[in-house]
Structure 1
Amino acid sequence: MEKHHAKNLPSVFFFLCYMLVNLMILHCRADLRRGYSLLQRGHRLEKRLITNLGGISFLDCVEECLRTNRCLSVNYFQPAHFCEVSFKKKDFVPRLYLAKTGWFYSERNDWDKEMISSCSQSNCRENEKCAPKAMGEYTCELSDCGVPMNEEYSLENVQDGDGIGITKRMHVTCLEGFEKQGSGLFICQTDGVWKRDLKCILSGCFQDNASRVLEKDIHNLNPNGKEYCKTHCSELGFYKYFGVENGNECFCGNTTQYMPERATGCDKPCTGNRDELCGGAWRIKIFTF
């Protein structure tokens, strides 16, 4: 048994030497001068985190970004060797780019892709990162759940330390005009799917205009009212919203064409149903199915 292990020692030693030589060649081939010259000292981009890592060097932090497809920039806190990998860069959200002592900020495109060897040519998807293997091979691993964005969500409540990476959490809220139901806590599960505790309800009286909040088509109903309009839209297909306006008008829609302002004036009696109010002149009363 001891002889068998002894025979394997040269091959193990050769493999380790091979990896060390390739690592040295990699850093010799990669041009780091541009990245260092564009390094932003004393700044940090906040609240647009994918993930964070402690106890690593600055160059390892840059490599983590280059291997993570959604990464656009990094923050690095030198005193604690702490790395933050971000899905935005400062030009996209300048209000979140702040002066912070001890921090360094750098962008993905400032660095030579040769730093990540075989991963520089990977075909990993947007929500994956490349994990290098021996002999120029690599695998793709899930990196995040994606940015929780749609017409209803707002990232204004995101807290420092929130992220979209696997096992990370994020505090999301509803855009103005939507009623919030739930805590707003999103948790990124290991399968790359968000576990969400948030529902944004578009409901109430809103100002309309010629662009129409829900749709261009006007359905004139007689009688009209909440249940009449709801039934009419259900018969036409699957819709997310419906609304009544100007007494006789009914609208259906899955999205809002623009974000309407809340208003008063939804006080016109419904046509053929005077017990209900059906919006008003350029005032639509919206409901969610």
Structure 2
Amino acid sequence: MKKILPCFLCLSCVTMNLMVLQSAADLKRCYSLLQRGYRLEKRLITNLGGISFLDCVEECLRTTRCLSVNYFQPAQFCEVNFESKDSVPKLFLTKTGWFYSERIDWDKDMTGPCSRSNCLVNEKIVPTSLGQCTCKVSDCGIPVNEGYSLETVQDGDGIGISKKMHVTCLEGFEKQGSGLFTCQSDGFWKADLQCIVEYKLPGCFEDSRKRVLESGPYFLQTNGRSQCASHCATLGSYRYFGLEVDDECFCGNDIRYNPKQVATTECDFPCRRNSEEMCGGNWKILIFSS
């Protein structure tokens, strides 16, 4: 006699079969979207060796900031990227043996119970015991500053934990300190790079209550270029000195806050007891190199 399964078991089997067929169909569609023979360069979060392509994709799906992956089949090598070919097309290059794929081409349900999370942009979903999930810091974010440039990023540089990145300054900025950034385990960069606007000196600048030059104001009974320079020299070794509102003298090693440089005619206050020289204006500072 032919054994008949209960209806709910039949329905369950049908549902499971449909899910398997659907999963296979989805993977077939995803694989059809692969960019074979291409790689996105120098926009790395992290890289992993000895894993399958699907594990590489899953790593991307778990990493909030990930937008795409590169995969090198011969070495089973995975690269997780924070950019896509559309955002940096110049870095999307032909590379034999590589596969390129984008996060949006894959179903996030591939990550199982951890497919939904409230992880922050610099975090990744990490599965724990009993099917639970947690968020863990994944990267230090993209180094951002008005003067920073990623033009010197090297192959293998990344923003992930323990990764390093070579950063420089944009044209028109003076580079001070090392351009080597190291991503620490707390998600913050360790670096000492400063990109300071290269101004034409002497020059007139807009000042503020934060003060463009860090030391001052010093109120001189007789003010002027030589008087202010001499006063700063008695206080220490400064790269710059500045004159403002007839009797104010400032000293500094940096021109801070990237102030707006304006026409020298806006620094037209005569200096105190020295009317032959100009000493800035209201919230306008005339800066010289020492």
**Length-normalised TM-score, structure 2:** 0.68
Cα displacement (A) at 1:99: 0.2
1:3-40 superposed Cα distances (whole Å, 9 cap, x missing partner):
xxxxxxxxxxxxxxxxxxxxxx9987743122201000
Listed one character per residue, the Cα deviations across residues 106-150 of structure 1 (whole Å, up to 9, x for unaligned) are 000000111101221111110000012344310111100000022
Partner of 2:216: none
Which residue does the alignment assign to 1:228? 243
Shift of 1:227: 1.9
Whichever residue aligns with residue 30 of structure 2, its letter is G
| Equivalent in 123, 128, 131 of residue 133 of structure 1 | 128
CA spacing shift, 1:58–1:243, aligned 2, 3 Å: closer
Percent of residue pairs bearing the same amino acid type:
61
How far apart in 2 are the matches of 1:224 and 1:60?
Answer: 69
Alpha-carbon offset, residue 183 of structure 1: 2.1
Rate the CA distance shift 1:244–1:78 in 2: closer, same or farther, 3 A.
closer
Structure 2, unaligned stretches of length 5 or more?
Answer: 1-17, 208-222, 226-240
Indicate conservation of the 8 Å contact 1:65/1:72, yes or no: yes
Q: Is the contact between residue 54 and residue 80 of structure 1 (CA under 8 Å) also seen in structure 2? A: yes
Partner of 2:238: none
Displacement of 1:244 in angstroms is: 5.4
Of the three residues 60, 81, 99, the one matched with 1:86 is 81
Runs of 4+ in 1 over 3 A off after TM superposition: 25-30, 223-226, 229-234, 241-245, 273-278, 284-287
SS at match of 1:165: coil
RMSD after superposition: 3.4
CA distance 1:286–1:120, change in 2 (3 Å): farther
Please name the residue that 2:266 is paired with: 249
Equivalent residue for 1:160? 155
- Tell me the SS of whatever aligns to 2:181: strand
Structure 1 gaps, min length 5:
1-24, 207-212, 216-222, 251-269, 279-283
Q: Partner of 1:205: helix, strand, or coil? A: coil
1:44 aligns with 2:59: no
Equivalent residue number for residue 181 of structure 1:
176
Residue of structure 2 in register with 1:272 after alignment: 270
Cα distance in 2, alignment partners of residues 34 and 285 from structure 1:
65
Contact between 2:244 and 2:279, CA under 8 Å: does it hold in 1? no
Pairing of 1:85-104 with structure 2 (within 5 A)? 85-104=80-99
Secondary structure of the residue that 1:61 maps to in structure 2? Answer: helix
TM-score (norm 1): 0.68
- For residues 183 and 26 of structure 1, the distance between their equivalents in structure 2, rounded to whole angstroms, comes to 54
Q: CA deviation at 1:197?
A: 2.6
Contact 1:50 1:87 in 2 (8 A): yes
CA contact (8 A) 1:27 1:115 kept: no
* C-alpha separation in 1, matches of 2:20 and 2:121: 26
Does the CA contact (< 8 Å) of 2:139 and 2:161 recur in 1? yes
Q: Aligned in 2, Cα 1:117/1:46: closer, same or farther, shift over 3 Å? A: same
